[in-house]
Amino acid sequence: MRKGVRTANQVRQVGRGGRGRALRRGTALLMVLLAAAAGRAAAQVDTIPGAVRHLGVVYESYVPTLAISPFTGRFGGLTVAPRVEAVIARDLRYSDRFEMMDSIPLAPGGGAVDYGLWDQFGADWLVTGQVEGLGNRFVLVLELHDVVFSEVKERARFSLPRPDAEDFRMAIHAISDDVVRWITGEPGMAASRICFSMESAAGSQELYVVDSDGENLRRLSNFNSLTMSCSWSPDGSRLAFLSFASGDPAIHEMEIATRQTRVLDFNRAGQPMTPVYHPNGEEIIFSLADGAESGLFSWRVREDCCLWRLTAGRWNDLSPSFSPDGRRLAFNSNRLGVAIPQIYVMPAESGGRPDLVSPYLYGQGGYYTSPDWAPSGDRVAFHGRYRRGSYHILIADVAAQGQRLLQLTYEGNNEDPSWAPDGRHLVFVGERDWGFGLFVVDTVSGRIRPVLSGVRPRVPDWSPSLASTEAPTREN
């Protein structure tokens, strides 16, 4: 049972107790999580219609234990080593893929790895690191040890940016994602950012960006006008967004590195909203409210031309989100009634009939908006409420057309989910009794952590992995 509660202390206790690996991988975790989920579900009435599972947690069969030995330093590297270790340790904890054993007092560091000792501690994996000074820069030598097989699984040298450089932390995040890939074969999400809008000190709503771990909050725009609904280009270099910066509401595109911004001029009346990039990076799809009609349109960004209508009707279609292969679109529409917006998916080439994926029941109301298609391709996240309940984050199985849903939040109000590049985490805006913030939920364990609080963020969008552009040079 103790394994279900993942505080570092208890993990350490379990580790020191030298309990068998089989026990640690046992079903206790499942029991605890399911019991917790069932308890919360039972207490929750009138949230989501009965066809939906009130299950916020999925059992993951095996959560390996990962230990981090205190990083060592050579040639002046010790001044930087603790910072590097701290970022990597937090990234690996936030990946939610491991039971973490880090910050261990008196843990053996340096010298040859005593696999027997780490095995007694209960570690499946061990990360060791050494930071070497090299002139005025530093190199991290990182090793991943497979404790079970008593061998070095991966070894790499990373050249780090200068510690006072703006990209220092992001470079270490990229290394953390390498460790995740070494162990799981899956992408991480540490080397990524989240864009969103919020009110600036001057009182206008501007664009901001923050690292995936809540550090490094920066303002990107200074338009002195309402600016929102940012969306990352697939290569992570540009943002599309709605702004009133030029007076009239218009879709803008910003080159992030230079902050250079241009207005997309569709030469057409109506208010454009909710832009999003096609996975090919060459088109932007957005909603245009145009007279009594509204619809989804596409625009070729590179050629700066060719308005193309995808949907039309005397209702609102908005907040489009592409499937990863670009062949289907999820979007929000109030075609069933202005007070009952629902989530639909349809072929991206217009003409196909949209299918409902939110849990609409005739005459039962329900309000579901802000879809975001998962990188895995089979699920769409969105938020909504049933009748007059609270707003919660939900995930729908696309193939099941609203009949299979996971509810991920049970507290406060929760809006605007956006998938992390690891396809496993979602960021959303949460409202709690203490205020608003950006939260991240692990869709596998159900764990929720605030990444930015004390501010009122709006409509976050999680970037693709920035590891390829921000990664430190790997030297071997």
Is residue 205 near another protein by the rule CB under 8 A? yes
Cβ 202 to another protein shortest distance, Å = 14
Binding to another protein, residues 46-85 (CB under 8 A):
none
Is residue 287 near another protein by the rule CB under 8 A? yes
C-alpha angle 88-90-94 in degrees, rounded to nearest 5: 115
Judged by CB, which is closer to another protein: 80, or 393?
393
DSSP label at 175?
A: H
Q: Which stretch binds another protein (CB under 8 A): 80-88, 139-147, 284-292, 441-449?
A: 284-292
Out of 131, 228, 254, 408, point to the residue binding another protein (CB under 8 A). 228
Is residue 338 near another protein by the rule CB under 8 A? yes
Q: Which stretch binds another protein (CB under 8 A): 25-33, 137-145, 336-344, 354-362?
A: 336-344
Is residue 418 near another protein by the rule CB under 8 A? no
Q: Which stretch binds another protein (CB under 8 A): 91-99, 226-234, 277-285, 355-363?
A: 226-234
The whole-angstrom separation of Cα 261 and Cα 392 is 34
Site for another protein (CB under 8 A): how many residues? 33
C-alpha angle 372-378-384 in degrees, rounded to nearest 5: 40
Could you count the other beta carbons within 10 Å of the beta carbon of residue 256? 18
Nearest CA to 415 among 299, 332, 306? 332
Judged by CB, which is closer to another protein: 228, or 310?
228
| Cβ atoms of residues 218 and 209 within 8 Å | yes
Cβ 185 to another protein shortest distance, Å = 35
Judged by CB, which is closer to another protein: 99, or 206?
206
| Cβ atoms of residues 230 and 240 within 8 Å | yes
Cβ 228 to another protein shortest distance, Å = 7
3-class secondary-structure state, position 21: helix
Calculate the alpha carbon distances from 262 to 220, 300, 301, 305 in Å.
Answer: 14, 14, 11, 14
Nearest CA to 192 among 208, 178, 177, 207? 177
The whole-angstrom separation of Cα 349 and Cα 321 is 13
| Cβ atoms of residues 384 and 371 within 8 Å | no
- Both structure tokens of 268: 């057409």
Is residue 216 near another protein by the rule CB under 8 A? no
Calculate the alpha carbon distances from 219 to 201, 222, 250, 404 in Å.
Answer: 11, 8, 20, 39
The whole-angstrom separation of Cα 264 and Cα 253 is 7
Stretch 381-400: interaction string toward another protein, x if CB under 8 A: --x-------x---------
Could you count the other beta carbons within 10 Å of the beta carbon of residue 62? 9
Terminal-to-terminal C-alpha distance of the chain: 43
Out of 339, 351, 363, 433, point to the residue binding another protein (CB under 8 A). 339
Out of 99, 416, 422, 470, point to the residue binding another protein (CB under 8 A). 416
Nearest CA to 440 among 405, 475, 409? 409
DSSP calls for 415-426? EEEEE-TTSSEE
Cβ 391 to another protein shortest distance, Å = 8
Query: At how many degrees (to 10) do helices 81-94 and 168-184 cross?
Result: 50
Nearest CA to 150 among 177, 120, 178? 120
Cβ 273 to another protein shortest distance, Å = 5
Is residue 450 near another protein by the rule CB under 8 A? no
Judged by CB, which is closer to another protein: 297, or 367?
367
Alpha helices in 394-471 (DSSP H): 467-470
Of all helices (H) and strands (E), which one includes residue 397? strand 392-397
Cβ 363 to another protein shortest distance, Å = 16
Is residue 332 near another protein by the rule CB under 8 A? yes
Q: Which stretch binds another protein (CB under 8 A): 5-13, 29-37, 286-294, 401-409?
A: 286-294
Cβ 334 to another protein shortest distance, Å = 7
Out of 316, 418, 443, 465, point to the residue binding another protein (CB under 8 A). 316
Cβ 297 to another protein shortest distance, Å = 14
Stretch 251-280: interaction string toward another protein, x if CB under 8 A: --------------------x-xx------
CA gyration radius, the chain: 24
Is residue 459 near another protein by the rule CB under 8 A? yes
Is residue 292 near another protein by the rule CB under 8 A? yes
Out of 369, 418, 443, 463, point to the residue binding another protein (CB under 8 A). 369
Cβ 473 to another protein shortest distance, Å = 40
Nearest CA to 330 among 364, 300, 273, 372? 372
List contacts with another protein (CB under 8 A): 205, 226, 228-229, 242, 244, 248-249, 271, 273-274, 287, 289, 291-292, 294, 316, 318-319, 332, 334, 338-339, 341, 367, 369-370, 383, 391, 415-416, 458-459
